Structure 1
Amino acid sequence: MTPSGGVAVLRCAGRSVARYVTRPALAPEHAPRPYLHPVTTLAGRTVTEALPDDHPHHLGAGVAVPDVAVAGAAVTGAAGDDPTGHDFWGGPSFVRGRGYVELGRHGVQRHDGFKLCDPDGFVAELSWTADGGRWLREYRTVAATCLSDSAWALDLTFSLTNVSGRGLSIGSPATNGRPGAAYGGFFWRAPKEASAPVAFGPAGEGEEALHGLRAEWVALAGAGWTLVFAGATEETRRDPWFVRAAEYPAVGSSLAHDARLPVAAGEGLVRRVVTVVADGRLGRDEAAALVRRAVTA
């Protein structure tokens, strides 16, 4: 992997399988941040989407959080008040009593540099900044592992540390009053096709069955591709999955599902998600076998 022009290329079995955009030229309302796009199968089929018309703040695969606030602040307030948190997700913010409102309180994930950069992976340092200061430091580790002639795994770990000098908390639209919208953390936007992808997991099928579920893995299968997402640590597996298929195709984690997640000054959190990227449509048993192999590789 040799970074050039703000883009680093990730390779597996000698093939380019992902591009990591370190310094995208984005408007502030997109909450500028590094992201992976396009990510492709080994046969070259693109399985991410960036800046789609339906949600122009969706940026391929990466890490995004819609609400980071000073701990103890009235982040939702009374009806009509603005939240005090900063949006590292992009787009409008959900305000209790008002719905989604464009508040202009967007933070920025700044790529500070690579600590390690090899053809099959990298370790990057990022600063999450808002109000002119650094709120969070992130170390992001991404690696590609070949699993077969038709499948590979993207292993993404992010470690966030509160360097603001104050207690912080992480929220979501769900904790701010919108049930079922607990997105925040790892997020993968898949391409929208003529038909919605099939969502399935170890013991269920369909968006309604999987959304908000704590499961070892969940999968999306589209036209000629399958993505299988696995929480690779015990702490990651405690986060419920955010799953969309009908409105748009995406899978993410929920750092703040039932309540805001406190992050004390100097403390942090670590999450690891491994994604199997496969050509063709996998069955449940095949998906489970590849996930087990990918997580332990």
Structure 2
Amino acid sequence: MGTHEGPGGHRVKLTHLHGERVDVAHGGVRLLSYVYAPEAAFEAPKPYLHPLATLSGGVVTDYRPNDHRWHKGIQLTASHLSGQNLWGGNSYVHGEGYLELPERVGSMTHEGFDEVRAQDGLAVLAERLTWRAHDGSAWADERRRVETAVPRRDPGAWHLTLSTSVTNLREEPLRFGSPTTEGRELAGYTGLFWRGPRAFRGGRILTADAEGPEVMGTQSQWLALSGEFDGVDGHATVVFAHAPENDHTGERGTHPAHWFVRNEPFAAVAPSWAFYDELVLAPGDTLIRRYRVVVADGRWERGDIATYLAEQPW
């Protein structure tokens, strides 16, 4: 086990339980655990962030809920990848629904960390991973970076920035899809995925210019979901934002991202890589994405969100 702390009163504390997880804490509160020890094969083993908590300690993620055991906090996923399932659980097949097809379920294996450190109000993880098909063959190489930042000015929130670069190792294209690209309406989940706690069912969904479940499948620079805790008093808001270079509008002629979001029968958000159309990654090419996740105490309004995002440089 290793522990790193930044200097002074604005510090974050990072604790590495080697072979298992990395915890990041601030002010005596564990803000997150990054778990990289592999779990059940049918759940498509891969690293995940859980628990994720507000500065006051309210947990805003769920882990292995009884409806989807492979939902674990925040994960990077690939529900349909050239016929393989790096999402976990049953696989959607057009005309047949969800089927138990373990021969399709792959994994994202942790290969090592290049950086694990905490300095002042920032904690950094830089990780190498291999995306593997069910037979263990290496399909993609990933470089991932997770940064946890607590602002000096206390807005009642902190954020993490997740960056990923996925390089196709195969001699043929990697085809990223979703249940929607396979024929299921409004089920375009793939890529970064958050599963909210059970208490956040029915939570408020907000974007810069719309509100409610009807934002499913639309585009926006950011999306937020607010819910009220069980067990402790208060609300929390979780905001998901695209980095400026992401193709969230498609204006750069690249593959546009659309939001997958639900507040019933559970709370979930994904800035989908392949909502309506497949994303095709040629051999040797690299897919690069960067996201920010803001975890805030309270029920934030549009102005609160816009102010926080504007004050935190990328």
Fold-level similarity (TM above 0.5): yes
Whether 1:150 aligns to 2:148 is no
TM-score normalised over the length of structure 1: 0.90
- Give the letter for the 1:232 counterpart: A
Shift of 1:149: 4.8
Whether 1:264 aligns to 2:250 is no
Partner in structure 2 of residue 167 of structure 1: 173
Shift of 1:13: 5.9
Q: What is the distance in 2 between the residues matched to 1:25 and 1:177?
A: 30
Partner in structure 1 of residue 65 of structure 2: 52
Which of structure 1's runs of 4+ aligned residues deviate more than 6 A? none
| 2:298 maps to which of 280, 284, 287 | 280
Percent identity over the alignment is 38
Whether 1:127 aligns to 2:130 is yes
Q: 1:173 to 1:57 in 2, by over 3 A?
A: same
TM-score normalised over the length of structure 2: 0.85
Shift of 1:2: 3.6
Write the mapping of 1:97-116 to structure 2, written as runs, cut at 5 A: 97-104=95-102, 105-116=104-115
- Give the letter for the 2:221 counterpart: E
The DSSP-based 3-state class of the residue aligned with 1:291 is helix
- Please provide the CA RMSD for this pair: 1.5
Q: 1:135 to 1:200 in 2, by over 3 A?
A: same
| 1:177 maps to which of 172, 183, 191 | 183
* Preserved CA contact (<8 Å) 2:201 2:265: no
* Preserved CA contact (<8 Å) 1:11 1:144: no
Q: 1:141 to 1:99 in 2, by over 3 A?
A: same
* Preserved CA contact (<8 Å) 1:2 1:118: no
Q: What is the distance in 2 between the residues matched to 1:233 and 1:181?
A: 25
Q: What is the distance in 2 between the residues matched to 1:90 and 1:165?
A: 25
Q: 1:214 to 1:265 in 2, by over 3 A?
A: same
Whether 1:225 aligns to 2:225 is no
Q: What is the distance in 1 between the residues matched to 2:112 and 2:207?
A: 36
Shift of 1:194: 7.1
Write the mapping of 1:136-147 to structure 2, written as runs, cut at 5 A: 136-147=140-151
* Preserved CA contact (<8 Å) 1:231 1:273: yes
Shift of 1:14: 6.7
Partner in structure 1 of residue 251 of structure 2: none
Unaligned runs of 5+ in 1: 70-84
The DSSP-based 3-state class of the residue aligned with 2:306 is helix
Partner in structure 2 of residue 67 of structure 1: 80
Deviations 1:268-296 (A, max 9, x none): 101111011001111111011112223x1
The DSSP-based 3-state class of the residue aligned with 2:85 is strand
Q: What is the distance in 2 between the residues matched to 1:29 and 1:264?
A: 28
- Give the letter for the 1:261 counterpart: L
Q: What is the distance in 2 between the residues matched to 1:245 and 1:88?
A: 24
Q: What number of residue pairs does the alignment pair up?
A: 279
Whether 1:291 aligns to 2:309 is yes
Shift of 1:165: 2.8
The DSSP-based 3-state class of the residue aligned with 1:182 is coil
Whether 1:254 aligns to 2:252 is no
* Preserved CA contact (<8 Å) 1:220 1:226: yes
The DSSP-based 3-state class of the residue aligned with 1:242 is strand
| 2:45 maps to which of 6, 27, 32 | 32
Unaligned runs of 5+ in 2: 1-13, 229-234, 249-255
- Give the letter for the 1:214 counterpart: Q
| 2:93 maps to which of 92, 95, 100 | 95
Q: 1:12 to 1:156 in 2, by over 3 A?
A: farther
Q: What is the distance in 2 between the residues matched to 1:230 and 1:159?
A: 17
Q: What is the distance in 2 between the residues matched to 1:33 and 1:235?
A: 23
The DSSP-based 3-state class of the residue aligned with 2:81 is strand
* Preserved CA contact (<8 Å) 1:157 1:272: yes
Deviations 1:83-113 (A, max 9, x none): xx11000111111111111111100110001
* Preserved CA contact (<8 Å) 1:202 1:216: yes
The DSSP-based 3-state class of the residue aligned with 2:78 is strand
* Preserved CA contact (<8 Å) 2:38 2:109: no
Partner in structure 2 of residue 78 of structure 1: none
